[in-house]
Structure 1
Amino acid sequence: MKKKAIIGIVIGIVVIVGCVFLIFNRNQKATVKQGSHQSAMGLTIKKNKRNTRSRNNQNSQPNIQKTTENNDQYSIDEWMLMGYMAYAHDNYVQSRHIKNNAELVDDISEDLNNGDLSAKRNSSNTYTLTNKFGSVDVEVEKDDVKVTNDGETINAKSELKEKFGAYADKIKAMIKNISQGSHVTDNEKSSSATKSKIPQFSIKQLAIFAGFARGDKEWVRDCIKKSNKLDPTNLTGTMCVGYNSKKTAYYIDGHGDPTTIVEFKREGDILITKHNDLTGQSVGNSPMITKRIPLTKLVEKYYSTDDEKAEVDNLANRLLTQQQYDAKLKAASNK
C-alpha cells in the first residue's frame, strides 16, 4: 500500500509539473506574438509620420500660391514699368539729378508723356523701351522682371513692389503711353485707328500743346491770364505766340528766362518742340532739347474729352500773337 501511494504521489507531481510547463509555454508564445504585433504597429506609425510630412508639404502649397497671387496684384504693364525704373535709376540720377524714387517715377512719367521715352508691347509679357540713347528690352517673368540689350538687369518682383508700390497709382496712369505691338487684334487696331484721327489744329492750338508739353497746364493758364491785363512794369509770366522766319518755326514766349521760350512746328502727325530743359546747374549750361511728340499722344492726353477740348480751344482763342501782344503793350504804356 505504501508503495502504491508513493507511485501515485510521483504521478501527481509529474502531471502538475507538466501542466505548469504547458501554461508557461503558452504565455511565452503570447508574449512573442504581442511583441510582433507591437513592432508592426511601430512601422505603421512611422509610415504615418512620412505621410504627415507629405501632407505638410501639400499644406505649404497655398503659401506658394499666395506668393504668386501677391505678384499678380499689379498688371504685366505695371511690372514692366517698375522693372524699367529700377534699371534706369542710376541714369536718371546722373542726368536729372533725382534724389529719390518719387522723383524717378515723376521723370519717367513726364518722358513717356512728352515722347522722350517710348514703350511698345511686343507680346503679352515683352516690351521695347526707346529714348535718344537707344533701346532696351523688358521681359516680365513669373517672379522677376528682366531688362536686356544693355547688359542684363534682373529685379525680383518683391523688391520692385517694395521700391515702387507706394507709387502704384502714378505707374498705372503711365500705361496709356504703351503702344501696341503686332499681337493686337484687328478690332483693337480698328478702334485705335479711329481714335488716332487728328484734327486740323490751328497754330495757336499747337502752341497750347507745346506749352503743355514743355511745362504743364497751370503754367500756360497763368501766362495767358496775366497777358489779358498787361502791366508794362512786369511782363514776366506773360505769353504770346510768334513766327521765326530764320528758323522757319513758331514759338511761344513766356517772357522769363530762356527756359520759357519754346520753338515748335508740325511735321505730318508729329509736333516738334525745342527748348532749354534746365537739367544743368544753371540755364546757361543746360542743353537745348528737341522733342518729337506724336500728335496722337497729345490728343489722347489733352484733347479727348469735351472739357479738355473746350479748355484748349479757349486758351488758344485768348493767346495773343506777337503783333497783338506788342500793340497791347504799347497801348498800356501810353496810359
Structure 2
Amino acid sequence: MSTPAPGAVLRGAVDLSSLRNRPAGPAPAGGTAPSPDGQAPASRLVFDVTDADFGQVLELSKTVPVVVDLWAEWCGPCKQLSPVLEKLVTELGGRLVLAKVDVDANPQLAQSFRAQSIPLVVALVAGQPVQLFTGAVPEAQVREVFTQLLQLAAQHGVTGTIPMEGAPTAEGDDAAPALPPLHQAAFDAIEAGDYAAAATAYEQALTENPRDEDAKAGLAQVHLLARVQHLDLAEARAAAASAPADVDAQFAVADLDLAGGHVDDAFARLLDLFAALPAEERAPVRERLLELFGVVGDADARVIRARGRLASLLF
C-alpha cells in the first residue's frame, strides 16, 4: 500500500480524453450526479458518477478539486476508507467534493484510471488527474493529503467552493479567494506557457518571503515543466537505455517519469545513477534529486524512503 502526497504536476498519468463531453446519463442509484451545467448539487458534496456522466465531473474540477474514490461492493478496505473520505470532505465545507466510482459498474473509468488495485483514490484539478493513494489509508494521512491537494489546486487557480445544504449565503460568498499577486502572476504565466516568467514570479515571492512553501513548490514545478515540455518519452527512454552513464539522458527520463506520476521510478533511476557514479561526479545527481523531492513534497512517503537511501549512499 502506498500513501503518497498529491502528484505535483498536472499531466497525463492517466488518459481521460475519451470521457470528456459525453452526454449525461441518469443520476446513479445511491447518489446525485453533478448537474448539466457542471456544478455539484448544493446539497451534496458526495455523489456517485458513471462512465456516462463523468465528463461533467471533469468540468466541475475546473471550479473545485474533485476527489475520486474508485471502489467495489466486495472490497472490504473500500468500506473502511469511504466513510473517512466522506467525513473529511464534509469537514472541508465545500472546498473539495467526492465522486464515487463503482469499478464493477463502470469499467471504462476503471480502465482510464488504471485501477489495478482498490480502493484507489485520485483527484481531478482543472480536468487533469492527480494521483493520491491506494489502500485504506489512516484518517490522519488522508487529512494531510487533502491539505496538500488544496495547496496544489490553489497553485493552478482552482479555489472555488460548493455551498453545503442549509448553509447561509451572501452576495460574493461563492467567489473564489484571490491568489497572492505574485502567485497569480505565476499561474497566468504557466497558463500562457511562459515558464520563465512563472519562475521569475515565484522567485520574487520567495525573495519577499523565504518561507513561502507554496512558492517553493511552484518554482520546482515550473522548472520541471520547462524541462519536459519538448521531450518525447520514447526517445528519452531509448537514449537512456543506450547510455546508462549519461547523466543528462537519465535526468530526462526521471523528469518525465515524475511528471507522469511514476515517482518511485524517477527516484530509483537517479539513486541508481548516484550509486554508480564516482564520488566527484555525484553532485549534479544529488541536486536534481533534492529538486524533485521538493516537487513531490518532503512529507511524502516516497520522498522519505528516497532520502533514506540517499543518506545511506552518502555515508
Normalising by structure 1, report the TM-score: 0.25
Question: Which entry has the higher C-alpha Rg, 1 or 2?
Answer: 1
Query: Which structure would you say has the larger RCO, counting Cα contacts within 8 Å and 6 or more residues apart?
Result: 2
The structure richer in helix per residue is 1
Return the TM-score normalized by structure 2.
Answer: 0.26
